[in-house]
Amino acid sequence: MLPLKNDLFLRSIYREPIDMTPVWIMRQAGRYLPEYRATREKAGSFMKLCKTPELACEVTLQPINRYPLDASIIFSDILTIPDAMGLGLSFVESKGPRFQHKLDEDKISRLEVPDLAKLSYVYDAIKLVRSELAGRVPLIGFCGSPWTLAAYMVEGESKPGFPRIMKMREENPFLLHSLLDVLASSVCAHLNAQIVAGAQAVMLFDTWGGLLNTADYTEFSLYYLKQIIAGLTRIYNQSKIPVILFTKGGSGWLELIADSGCDMVGLDSTITLKEAKARVGGQVALQGNMDPTSLLKSADEIREEAASIVTSFGGGPGHVFNLGHGITPDVDPEKVGILIETVHEVSKALHKNNT
């Protein structure tokens, strides 16, 4: 296995000495990049892009080849598991994901952990990316949380508030738990397979956990996230595999999330980094948390905001700079370069002053 040339990302998670703050960006391989749009057009559809390992490898590497990022993330989708379960995933332009088959009680009772061979395209893409990266930066694997997957599966598509699963939570929680249990086993198996394929860190996206109140978040989301984390391979090929947990809208539950067994908590933009560090920074590393819309501002405003976030942490390891959610398609690629450059420059000076 090739030694990492840039292991800032992993060292910061594990609070080992670093000389600057690492940075990567959620959805860093995406429509804001002209090279991504060209490859997407070549593929013909989003699912074809995901399911063709060579193309998924190509777009995974595009932001790494363009910017001095400190981590890569495999190009895939959080909904690959329900697709492998036979629900028939597609993406409708400007509307998002849609399943050909909605779940009902009978279908839920027959759901099983999918044959991982149906997800082999993800693992093949990971192997290709690791080979092409040649040890430049670590590679992150990922999956959606059981609650988030269930929200899409029950609704059949993306819909504000996901009323169908919220109704199921009220009227038939036993049925919902049976669905979440199968999904938790599936997510754990899928992430472990990504680790075997070469992922050097894994991330759980609990995109819709914030829809719940505290009691329901604990019961219907966090319980299964803990179950997954407990079942993950944490050391592979003599290397530690960190787990990142990101619950969008979960800033009120930071202490609960930090107790999940994860190594790093992803933060959205609803909380300051300073507050998050004060609450849980001694227990876990923190990832985040610049508002994605900030990248639509002027170069000077981007520099100012990025510097403020980096400075608010106070320097030292334990922070990985990121956005509070995925980058949007309308961002100028040049602004992303300015952001990364600023994080590195400001944090270098800050880390130097702290040593």
User: Which one of 11, 14, 15, 31 is the catalytic residue?
Assistant: 31
pLDDT in tens, 205-220: 999 999 999 999 999 9
Neighbours of 296 (CB within 10 A): 14
CA distance 187 to 225: 9
CA 208 to chain centre: 13
User: Which one of 40, 130, 169, 303 is the catalytic residue?
Assistant: 40
Q: How confident is the model at residue 2 (pLDDT cuts 50, 70, 90)?
A: low
Give the CB-side neighbour count of residue 135, counting CA atoms within 13 A.
Answer: 5
CA distance 65 to 334: 14
pLDDT in tens, 290-338: 999 999 999 999 999 999 999 999 888 999 999 999 999 999 999 999 9
Give the start-to-end residue ranges of the domains of the chain: 8-354
Q: Does residue 104 surpass a pLDDT of 90?
A: no
Residues 88-98: b if buried by 16+ CB within 10 A, e if exposed:
ebebeeeeebb
Whether 31 sits among the annotated catalytic residues: the reply is yes
pTM, to two decimals: 0.96
Alpha carbon of 131 to those of 138, 194, 196: distances in Å? 12, 15, 14
User: Per the structure block, which two tokens stand in for 164?
Assistant: 């169908």
Q: Residue 48: what pLDDT? A: 95
Whether 332 sits among the annotated catalytic residues: the reply is no
Q: What dihedral do alpha carbons 249, 339, 280, 233 form, nearest 10°? A: 90
CA distance 146 to 223: 10
Q: Residue 325: helix, strand or coil by DSSP?
A: coil
Q: Residue 315: what pLDDT? A: 83
Whether 152 sits among the annotated catalytic residues: the reply is yes
Whether 37 sits among the annotated catalytic residues: the reply is no
User: Which one of 152, 217, 263, 268 is the catalytic residue?
Assistant: 152
User: Which one of 7, 77, 83, 206 is the catalytic residue?
Assistant: 77
Segment 180-192 mean pLDDT? 98
Segment 170-180 mean pLDDT? 96
* Amino acid, single-letter form, for residue 324: G
Q: How confident is the model at residue 105 (pLDDT cuts 50, 70, 90)?
A: confident
ω into 237 cis (within 30 of 0):
no
User: Per the structure block, which two tokens stand in for 289?
Assistant: 């948390």
Neighbours of 219 (CB within 10 A): 18
User: Per the structure block, which two tokens stand in for 72?
Assistant: 């890569």
User: Which one of 27, 66, 98, 279 is the catalytic residue?
Assistant: 27
Instruction: Return the CATH architecture of domain 8-354.
Output: Alpha-Beta Barrel (3.20)
Whether 27 sits among the annotated catalytic residues: the reply is yes
CA distance 208 to 222: 12
CA 19 to chain centre: 25
Neighbours of 45 (CB within 10 A): 11
